[in-house]
Each structure stands twice: as C-alpha cells, then as structure tokens.
Amino acid sequence: MRVFFLPLFFFFCASSMAQSTPVKLLTDKSFMPYSFLKDGIPDGLYVEMIKRVDEKLVDYDIELEFSDWGAAKARVKAGTILGLVGPYYHAHDWEYMYPYSIAIDHDHLITVCNINVRLKANPKWPQDYEGLKVGTIAGYDAWRKDTTYGQQIHTVNFFEFPNVNLALKGVDRQIVDCTMFEQGSFSAHIKLMGETGEIKKPENIYVATHISQNAIYIGYSATGIEKGNFPYALDFKKAFDIAFYELLNAGEFESLYQKYNLSYY
C-alpha cells in the first residue's frame, strides 16, 4: 500500500500491478476527531477507517477529498463526486443522496451551554430551550429538526456558525446561549482551544443535554449514479460494505477509537 498526500486529498493506492479503479469520496475538512487536516495532513477516525478498508479492496483505490460540509453536499447533489463520508440517513429528505453504506459509526448529538445561561436542571430538547439563542454549524441542517417527528423546530432562535471553532467561541463569548454539537467533536475541540488559549475558561462551557444518537454512513450521489457518471458505484458500495463489516467484526477499529479518545460502540 502506497499512500499519497495531495492538497486537500488523501489518496490510498494499492501497490499491486493490477489496474484498480480510482474512487473519490468527500468528507468534512474540520470535523475533529473524525475527519480533519492537521498541519495540512489528513487525520481522523474516518480517515483511518477508510484507509483500512481500502487496503482490503482489490479492484478499487479510494481517494478521500476534504471540503467544507456545505460545499461537499453541493457536489454530491450535482453528481460530480460519488459519495460523502459522514452524513446521517437522509433518503427521506435529500433526494440526491442514495444509496447509503452500512453504518460506519454512531454520533451523539448534544447541546453545550455557557454557565451563565439560566436553564433548569437536566433540560429537555427542545422544549426547555424555548426563546434561547442556539448555535448550529453550517450545512448540518438536520440538527434543527425535532428528533422524534422530523419537523423543523420553531421555538428556538437558531444562529448558524460557519465552523465548529466559531460555534464554541460563540458560546464562550455569549453570542449565543448554547450550541448544538457532536459529543466527540466537542471534547476534542474544547480541549485543543483551551490549550491554545482561544477559549480562556473551557470549564465555563458544559454539556447540558444529550439529544440523540445517530448512525453515520457514506451517502452516495443518486444524481451522479443516475447520470451514469459512476458505472462502478453499486459494485464499489458492496465491496466497501463487505470489507468494512469484516474489519468491524474482527475488532480492527477498536484501537482507532482509543487513539481518538472515543467510545467504541
């Protein structure tokens, strides 16, 4: 296995002389500890998982490209890239994304709040946040929907931040009362931003509510598949799913969760 690093790309290339089909997938460039660029080098749980899957694939070489989440979704919708690593299941409301891989992870959606915000003990989402200003991350529009009925939440005043760093700074500086976050990502970012001094008192930001647990997938471009841009799509999906399942069953990912300080299934 030879690994090539390109600007905003991570290319897994098999050392075999046999011709393999290159497959491009997109992922978020700043979703630490899952997928991110560290000093320009790709890193994260999903990056390493996909690398291990790629090592098992005979007929395909995976090229992982990094992008802003919103821009990544737009490219999947346009059909110019085969798939996106990291979305929830959205076949019911994103008509351009289907099919999906088997679940590659599960995330934990939470709210984090400034200690100066008046909230009752053990607040419920969304009813106990009525009238508060709550941050979200650009492109993560599913977070604004009720997890039970899938309806848009109108009792909360949402404020969209372009990235997770600014969302945490928004809570720290009380631009918003709280923000929605993925638990593992919050833990990684609050630790790093406390160490760098970007947030002076990390202890003033706390986890207030555990909203939901959600399965994570690779979502494929229905648009691109229907246009015939990726004639190998379904064969690749099957090969990826089988390889991932075999690695998961063998416990090959457990050490990666430990490496990134994440709970293992």
131 shares its domain with 153: yes
Residues 33 and 57 in one domain: yes
- 126 and 180 fall within a common domain: yes
Over 60: is that where the pLDDT of 236 sits? yes
The model's confidence at residue 18, banded by pLDDT at 50, 70 and 90, is low
Cα separation values, 170 from 1, 113, 189, 190, 235, Å: 43, 10, 13, 13, 44
CA torsion sign, 223 to 42 to 159 to 147? positive
What φ, ψ does residue 150 adopt, rounded to 5°?
Answer: 70, 15
Q: In this structure, are 170 and 186 located in the same domain?
A: yes
Residue 264 lies in a domain: no
**Boundaries of domain holding 14:** 2-104+217-259
Residue 154: predicted pLDDT: 80
Domain count, the chain: 2
Same domain, residue pair 10 and 89: yes
Cα→Cα distances 176→61, 102, 157, Å = 43, 36, 9
Which pLDDT band, with edges at 50, 70 and 90, does 14 fall under?
very low
Residues 189 and 239 in one domain: no
pLDDT tens for each residue of 77-110:
999 999 999 999 999 989 999 999 999 999 999 9
199 and 119 co-located in one domain: yes
265 domain residue, yes or no: no
Cβ atoms of 12 and 3 closer than 8 Å: yes
- Are 170 and 210 in a shared domain? yes
184 in a structural domain:
yes
Question: What pTM value is reported for the model?
Answer: 0.87
Provide the CATH number for the domain around residue 200: 3.40.190.10
Q: For residue 172, report the phi and psi dihedrals to the nearest 5 degrees.
A: -60, -40
Q: Which of 177, 199, 214 is the last residue of a domain?
A: 214
Q: Is the pLDDT of residue 3 over 70?
A: no
The SS3 assignment for 152 reads: strand
Q: Does 148 share its domain with 201?
A: yes
**In terms of DSSP H, where are the helices of the chain?**
45-56, 69-78, 164-172, 183-196, 222-226, 233-249, 254-259
Q: Tell me what pLDDT residue 54 has.
A: 97
Question: Which residues have C-beta within 8 Å of that of residue 27, sequence separation ≥ 6?
Answer: 35, 46, 47, 64, 65, 66, 67, 72, 84, 85, 86
pLDDT digits (tens, 9 = 90+) for 47-71: 999 999 999 999 999 999 999 998 9
% of the chain residues with pLDDT over 90: 79
Rounded Cα gap, residues 129 and 178, in angstroms? 9
What's 117-130 look like in SS3? CCCCCCCCCCHHHC
Strand partners, 41: 38
Extract the tokens encoding 191. 């630790």
Domain annotation covers residue 29: yes
Same domain, 197 and 230: no
